[in-house]
Structure formats: C-alpha cells, structure tokens
C-alpha cells in the first residue's frame, strides 16, 4: 500500500483563497488594506526567488506589498533604521526580513528589532516566548503550515507520538511547541540523538527538518505514520541530463511512500505553505492591530 500524498500546493492555494476573502472583508467593511513589507539584503538567488513570489502572492490576495531590496554591504545601522521606519508606518501590518542575512549582520539583533505585533515570521523573542507559554503569538510560517496539514489529515493530534528531526529556531523548535500545544507526545531529535532510527520508528508523526538530502529512509518509518518533509535540498540529477539537478527532501520519498500512511512531497509539499501562511499571518496581524476579530481559520 502506498501513502496518501498530501498536496501542499493545492492546500496552499486554498489558504490563499481564504486569505483573499478576509482581505476583501477588511477593505469593504473597514476600509483597511493589509500591507506586508519584505526586506531582502543581498543577492542570494534562492532568496530573490522567494521574495519575488511573496510580493506577487501578496498582491494577488489583494494586499499591499512593499519590497525593500538592499545591497549586500548594507550596514546594520541602515537596516535597523529601515526596520524602525516600517515599525512606525501605519500602512505596514507585517514585516519580514528574508533569511539568511549576509554574515556581517547580526540576525538576532535584526529580528528582535521588528515590532512583535508586525513580526509575521514569528521569530522575535517576544513571539517565541508567547508560543512557548501558550499565549497568542505570531506563529512561524513553515511550522504553521505543517500543523494545518497535520490537523487536516488527522483531525485531532491528541496523544499521538511525534518526532521532530531538527532543532532550528525557524522550524524544529516552534514545530515541537505547536505539536505539544495539540497534545502530542513530542521528541526533538538532532545530530547527537542516540538510535535515531529507533526514535523515528516509534512516531505516528515524523517532521523532518534537518536540511540533509534523503537522510530518512523508509525503513525508519512506522507503518501508517504521517511524514512531513520540510527539507528542500538540491542534488545532482544525471538521469535528467549532464549538469542537471533536482529538489529532494530530507526523507527518501521513494522508500517512505511505501510505508507511510501519508507524506508530503518535495517540491509541492511544505514549501508552498510557507508563503500562504505568511499571507495568513499578515491578515492576523492587521486584524489585531485594528482591534478586529482575527480569522480563526488562518491561525492556530
């Protein structure tokens, strides 16, 4: 039996449709247009693609998009001054600084300069603390997208064993907090975890977010488990022709699909949900900023 494929691209399109409905309501009923400011420092090719997609999709759902593209040699002071002006701009409800930043910039300092109410990435300390203590926060987009897909597939997650492989601030840690919030029994595994295959084999839910191509083979997966693959790794694909490459996840899809109950593909799984959830978070931030009820279906 092969697993159900969780179609993140289609799921993300549905989330964006819901976002568009709420944006139209904010405009028609309250005369407010949500605005998202995206800051890109430098010329990292992947970041340029993601920022372009974010701008395009922001406009498609009816929001205002403000793109700030800064040179790779931008000083910390100049970047902080831009963030300060965006914090104080009433037309901007969400601010995102695309990561990674060039090495000379202190990522923590920059992220924590964003007003927590506008931090639609949910990366600043205030939002991390609120999420960890079960308070209303901005929830990081990738884990939020994973949780939406898991809830849609399972209904309740209560009592399920979940393993998150990877302990990054952007995905692994917030993902674990969200699963805990939904009453899963959560293990965070990482490079020093002993007997990783055995730990993974016990899990009803596996979230792989390590950034190592095809690291998790199918024989680590419990029969019927749900596998959420966050990895996006580019590998050589000589079968496609000389010098060609392709994207793969952190899970070996071909073997895992034979054992899992459900699995997200790469590409077309978690990735598209990241941008859809960014748009959802911007609507949430805009609603909160204006003292309006926030759409329950766009957050957790």
Ligand X SMILES: Nc1nc2c(c(=O)[nH]1)N[C@@H](CN(C=O)c1ccc(C(=O)N[C@@H](CCC(=O)O)C(=O)O)cc1)CN2
Q: Which residues bind ligand X (CB under 6 A)?
A: 50, 96-99, 121, 141-142, 232, 247, 266-268, 271-272, 274-275
Residue 54 among the catalytic residues = yes
Catalytic residue among 118, 119, 121, 250: 121
| CB 100, min distance to ligand X, A | 7
Q: What angle do CA 37, 38, 44 make, to 5 degrees?
A: 170
Cα distances from 190 to residues 124, 143, 205, in angstroms, run 23, 17, 16
Residue numbering of the annotated binding site for NADP(+)? 166-168, 232
Greatest CA separation for the chain:
57
User: Which residues is 247 bridged to in the sheet?
Assistant: 234
If you search the block for the tokens 């995905």, which residue do you land on? 171
Select 11 or 50, whichever has its Cβ closest to ligand X.
50
Select 54 or 222, whichever has its Cβ closest to ligand X.
54
Question: Strand, coil or helix: what is 76?
Answer: helix
Catalytic residue among 98, 177, 204, 229: 98
Give the nearest residue (CB) to ligand X.
271
Residue 223 among the catalytic residues = no
User: Which residues is 235 bridged to in the sheet?
Assistant: 246
Select 39 or 199, whichever has its Cβ closest to ligand X.
39
Neighbours of 287 (CB within 10 A): 22
| CB 267, min distance to ligand X, A | 3
Residue numbering of the annotated binding site? 166-168, 232
Residue 95 belongs to what H/E stretch? strand 94-97
Residue 48 among the catalytic residues = no
Select 158 or 245, whichever has its Cβ closest to ligand X.
245
| CB 287, min distance to ligand X, A | 21
Residue 38, phi then psi, degrees to nearest 5: -115, 130
Give the DSSP letter string of 218-263: GGGSPTT-EEEE---EEEE-GGG-TT-EEEE-SB-HHHHTTT-SEE
| CB 123, min distance to ligand X, A | 7
Catalytic residue among 54, 118, 173, 222: 54
Residues labelled as active-site residues: 54, 98, 121
């Amino acid at each position: 039996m092969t697993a159900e494929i969780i179609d993140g691209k289609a799921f993300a399109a549905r989330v964006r449709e819901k976002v568009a409905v709420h944006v139209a309501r904010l405009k028609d009923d309250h005369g407010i247009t949500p605005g998202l400011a995206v800051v890109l420092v430098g010329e990292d090719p992947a970041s340029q693609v993601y920022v372009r997609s974010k701008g395009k999709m922001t406009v498609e759902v009816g929001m205002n998009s403000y793109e700030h593209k800064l040179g790779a040699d931008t000083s910390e002071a100049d970047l902080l001054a831009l963030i300060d002006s965006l914090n104080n701009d009433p037309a901007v409800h969400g601010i995102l600084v695309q990561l990674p930043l060039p090495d000379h910039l202190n990522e923590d300092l920059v992220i924590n300069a964003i007003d927590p109410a506008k931090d639609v990435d949910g990366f600043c300390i205030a939002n991390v603390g609120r999420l960890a203590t079960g308070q209303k926060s901005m929830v990081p987009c990738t884990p939020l997208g994973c949780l939406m897909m898991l809830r849609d597939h399972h209904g309740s997650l209560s009592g399920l064993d979940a393993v998150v492989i990877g302990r990054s601030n952007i995905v692994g840690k917030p993902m674990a907090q969200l699963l805990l919030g939904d009453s899963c029994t959560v293990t965070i595994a990482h490079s020093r975890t002993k007997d990783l295959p055995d730990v993974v084999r016990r899990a009803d839910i596996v979230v792989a977010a390590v950034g190592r191509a095809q690291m998790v083979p199918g024989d680590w997966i419990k029969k019927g488990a749900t596998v959420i693959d966050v990895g996006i790794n580019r590998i050589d694909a000589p079968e496609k022709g000389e010098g060609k490459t392709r994207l793969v996840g952190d899970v070996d899809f071909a073997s895992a699909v034979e054992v899992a109950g459900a699995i997200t593909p790469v590409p077309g799984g978690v990735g598209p949900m990241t941008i859809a959830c960014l748009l959802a978070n911007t609507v949430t931030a805009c609603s909160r900023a204006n003292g309006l009820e926030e759409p329950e279906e766009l957050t957790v």
